[in-house]
Amino acid sequence: MSENTDPADIFRTEAAELLEQLETALLDLERAPADSNLINQAFRALHTIKGSGAMFGFEQVAAFTHEFESAFDRVRKGETAPDPELIAIALNAKDFIRELIEKPEEASAVIGMCILTDLRKLTQAPQAGAALAAVGPEAAAPAPPTSELQHWRIGVRFHKDVLINGSNPLLLLDELRALGDCNVTVDCRDLPDLAALEPAVCYFTWNVELTTTHPQSAIEEVFVFVLDEMELKIEAGTAPATEGRPAVATQEPAGEPPAADAAIKRGGKEAATIRVPAERLDEMMDRVGELVIAQARLSQLAGAGASTNGVAEEIERLTSSLRDAMMGIRMLPIGSLFGRFRRLVHDISRDLKKEIELVAEGEETELDKTMVERLADPLIHVIRNAADHGLEQPEARIAAGKPAVGRIRLVARHAGAEVLIAVSDDGRGLDAKRIRAKAEEQGLIAPGAPMSEQQLYQLIFHPGFSTASVVSALSGRGVGMDVVRRTIDGLRGSIDIASEAGKGTTITLRLPLTLAIIEGLLVRVGDARYVAPLTSVEECVELPPVVGAGSRGRSFLNIRGELVPFLRLREMFGESGEPDPHQKVVIVSHNDARVGLVVDQILGGHQTVIKSLSKFHADVASFSGATILGDGAVALILDVPQLIAAAQKREAHVNSGKSEAA
Amino acid sequence: MFGAQGYAQALMLNVAGEVFAIDARQVREILDPVPVTRVPGAKPYFASVLNVRGKVIQLADLRLRFGLPPATITQDSRFIVLEIEIEGDPTTIGIVADKVFEVAELDPATLQKTPPVGMHWRPEFIAGIAKWRDEFIVLPDMAKILNAQGN
């Protein structure tokens, strides 16, 4: 498969990572402007983007980044300090590079020029405005000012293997052409006879006469990445009468068509590659190797008609470790997501004129790749909401005796089979009264309906609900939080809200660890088999005969002195026939709530590969998915949170009806 | 379904005594009945799932969809796995046929619109009527019949 990988895609993946590094460095730089490590880090990222951009034919990217880099070079040399204004523009420039890479047909050269002009103004770069030419083809047309025209004679000879190493001399010559009036002649003296010709060897030497306003360093810059692989001679000459000579028809950026093609091919989809630590791949390779050996043994034993128990056990062990290794590969640290939010907070903080500090913890917490991707949107909304509605303006904060700088904490951690992602702010907190008033006004709840604070808080996720009196550019339309809830529901997670007036709000997203494979407990209800996720199973007990045979009204068990409500799955799932004489209860828990599930038989542990149910079953709440058992039959996976909710509903019903439950 | 390209190949099958023609391009495979798993709480005509080569797919009982008693599995019953576009998504779904006859070529010249009366199927489920072996057969609109809302 890797043979078919489009090199442009490799560049895109690489560039995306580099841009992320660049952004991180720039954002850090805002706080520590003097940190030369950070400056160098940003500079390195720029330099690599430029280099590989040119290598893969992303001409515009290379040209723009080059300009960016030269402006930034002044920061590196300590001639300009990276003040917030410069960083804001540098961030814009970074965004523009991303656009050039991802959607070159949409990126406007004019915007690029504006950004560069701003950058230069701030860094007071000496070579004002001229070298822009390569950014957009249309910008290349006007001849540079004639005042400082200088004539250069340039000899270019590449080493033979320059093409093999991935450089394209023609692109470099095009870059030269972009510098000014340029006459390129090729010297084919070294070209061998056809029989001796190696197609991958560069036999040509070029002589270039260039008339330009750029200094010699600009010419050297063009070849900076191939200097090791070439001989470059640059001689200054007297400017000939250029007026008379027709401008050499410059071939417009040759690198553009492939880039555009690739963009179309990608169809705007997320790059579907994932970077995997090599050691995890090695581990997997080892397991696969062992598996192949075990398989060979199995064939041999099967052929000889011998007992296969030992091999079966070995294969079982290998499969499970292979599964673990595979899962590891799908896991991504959530920090990759957190990085984006720093930029978000930076921008929000500027737009809202609030000083906001984002503190991230638990960035190393790993989550399934699909989950990480799908969490980006909801988290953006939650963070925006915290910044816009949660945090007060600096004056109000000082008046309330809090530091002027608002703080948003982003914490990720594992808790059992769940990952918790908490976004907390130290702002004004949710105003339950106001939420109630607004909800009553909008007719979401009946006036005076008894509701717990938690229930009131949950209303903020209702579509169209917003307590903000003013709709800002950021939030207030009541759309964002609805997105949050729908996404989290879709991932089978849940949302908790805690809030204290004047102290702040914490919104916690609880998510299942993985979407792919879980350990399950296989149970039988009537003729059907079901899987309960083992992580939510607390214990299994026998249903006391008294309770089992007893009245329908009582559906509580006494588990070591605690009352646990139970659900008879037979009734719930409409199983006909007689229940087994000794019914078992599987006690499951979720969010500190416990419920017993009465089943006919507990069959044992089961490695459960989760298959999603089709949309035809979107309305079936009791199951979170299905799996395939060893005999090929399908078993449904019990959705514990939903079952607990069902039990609680019934409990509430029983409690309000008659308080006979002892 | 049976467009302007001339003859269309169709799988002929029997459900509740009625002969249906299903576009052969939609048919993935025809299986002997296997045990299925009931999904408690689901709509009756989508009430079961089964394992087809490692994928959990939906089994739809067209009889229930048409308001008839459920299918009983007999020696002639077959599960037909279809791949059709439902509400924009390509969906793999199984249906129960009481009997499968053959793959036949339908002559588009015999194609007729659904008569407004005289059918016991709901008219919106039927894409047209065609002639096969001198019999009138129903061309069902599977995408409509199997839509997830079930209305």
Sheet holding B78-86, edge to edge: B27-31, B78-86, B89-97, B55-60, B48-52, B37-38
Residues of chain B with Cβ-Cβ distance to A528 below 8 Å are 37-38
Of residues B148 and A31, more confidence is placed in: A31
**Contact (CB, 8 A) for A129 and A117:** yes
What is the fold, at CATH topology level, of the domain defined by A334-512?
A: Heat Shock Protein 90 (3.30.565)
Q: What is the pLDDT of residue A349?
A: 85
- CATH 1.20.1250.20, domain A517-657, yes or no: no
> Which parts of A476-581 fold into alpha helices (H)?
480-490, 545-549, 569-572
DSSP assignment of A38-92: HHHHHHHHHHHHHHHHHHTT-HHHHHHHHHHHHHHHHHHTTSS---HHHHHHHHH
pLDDT single digits (tens) B17-32? 888 888 888 899 999 9
* A597, A608, A634: best to mutate for the B interface, most B CBs within 10 A: A634
Q: In this complex, do A611 and B50 lie within 8 Å of one another by their Cβ atoms?
A: no
Residues of chain A with Cβ-Cβ distance to B49 below 8 Å are 613, 617, 626, 634, 636
Reply yes or no on whether the pLDDT at B71 is more than 50.
Answer: yes
- Is B41 touching A (CB cutoff 8 A)? yes
**Contact (CB, 8 A) for A222 and A175:** yes
Q: CB-CB: which of A574, A614, A618 is closest to B40?
A: A574
Look up the CATH number of domain A2-139: 1.20.120.160
CA dist., res. B85 & res. B93, Å (int): 10
- Is B143 touching A (CB cutoff 8 A)? no
Hey, which residues of A are catalytic here?
47, 69, 385
**Contact (CB, 8 A) for A74 and A44:** no
Q: In this complex, do B37 and A623 lie within 8 Å of one another by their Cβ atoms?
A: no
What is the fold, at CATH topology level, of the domain defined by A150-246?
A: Alpha-Beta Plaits (3.30.70)
Q: Are strands A356-361 and A406-415 parallel, antiparallel or unpaired?
A: parallel
Q: Is A634 helix (H, G, I), strand (E, B) or coil?
A: strand
Q: CB-CB: which of B37, B46, B146 is closest to A528?
A: B37
DSSP assignment of A118-172: HHHHHHT-SS-SGGGGGSSHHHHSSPPPSTT-EEEEEEEEE-GGGTTTT--HHHH
Q: What is the pLDDT of residue A124?
A: 64
> What is the pTM for the complete model shown?
0.51
Q: List the single residue in B with minimal CA-CA distance to A528.
A: B37
Domain map of chain B by residue range? 8-145
**Contact (CB, 8 A) for A133 and A139:** yes
Residues A412-427 as b/e (b if ≥16 CB within 10 A, e otherwise) read: beeeebbbbbbbbbbb
- Is B35 touching A (CB cutoff 8 A)? yes
Q: What is the pLDDT of residue B150?
A: 52
Residues of chain A with Cβ-Cβ distance to B60 below 8 Å are 616
Task: Label residue A48 left, alpha or beta by phi (over 0 means left) and psi (-120 to 50 means alpha).
Answer: alpha
Q: What is the ipTM of this complex?
A: 0.83
Domain map of chain A by residue range? 2-139, 150-246, 278-332, 334-512, 517-657
Q: CB-CB: which of B35, B57, B89 is closest to A633?
A: B35
CA dist., res. A622 & res. A467, Å (int): 34
Domain B8-145: top CATH class: mainly beta
Q: In this complex, do B39 and A617 lie within 8 Å of one another by their Cβ atoms?
A: yes
Q: How far is B71 from chain A (nearest CA, A)?
A: 19
Please identify every stretch of chain A with a pLDDT value under 70, giving residue numbers as ranges. Answer: 1-5, 124-148, 165, 225, 238-272, 416-417, 466-479, 514-516, 546-554, 650-662
Q: In this complex, do B46 and A528 lie within 8 Å of one another by their Cβ atoms?
A: no
CA dist., res. A48 & res. A65, Å (int): 10
Residues of chain B with Cβ-Cβ distance to A634 below 8 Å are 36-37, 49-51, 56
* A531, A616, A624, A638: best to mutate for the B interface, most B CBs within 10 A: A616
Q: What is the pLDDT of residue A659?
A: 44
Q: What is the pLDDT of residue A423?
A: 92
